Amino acid sequence: MTDLDRDTADRRMWHVVITTAGAALPVDRVREALERLADRHQFLLSARYASDRAEVRYWDESGNVRDIAARAFSVWSDYSEIAALPPWEVVGLEVVERDAFHARLGGRRGRRAGDPDVSGLASGGIHPF
């Protein structure tokens, strides 16, 4: 097995959620910025927004969670200029391996206190909170 084969075999899919927040802006400006981000970050699944915060969700692939988290943490700043994103800071980051993510979606009759809200994840698009 070559190093490339080994690297490919060790790669896993991760569901990423980045939450940003900052000074309030017109919601149209926030929505338009997220639309530009979606055009440039092809793997964007969905985004939610308000005048003072935004949340983006996407899938990424890597062999370990540290690489995904490091890459995810820099997405907002990396695309900040080209997508004219609000000058907000990352205030939340969640990275969940694919099997764990899918386990959240199925097999439970209801959410318990503290469970993440994963409703509407399949709808995609860019929507207000």
pLDDT at 120 over 80: no
CA–CA dist 26, 29 (Å, integer): 5
pLDDT at 122 over 90: no
pLDDT at 90 over 90: yes
pTM, two decimal places: 0.80
pLDDT at 2 over 70: no
The pLDDT score that the predictor gives to residue 104 is: 86
The pLDDT score that the predictor gives to residue 123 is: 52
Output the average pLDDT for the chain.
85
Query: In terms of Cα–Cα distance, which of 56, 98, 51 is closest to 73?
Result: 56
Q: How confident is the model at residue 107 (pLDDT cuts 50, 70, 90)?
A: low
The predicted-structure confidence for 34-47, as pLDDT tens digits, reads as follows: 999 999 877 888 99
Confirm if 122 and 15 have CB atoms less than 8 A apart. no
The pLDDT score that the predictor gives to residue 15 is: 95
**3-class SS of residue 20:** strand
CA–CA dist 50, 34 (Å, integer): 11
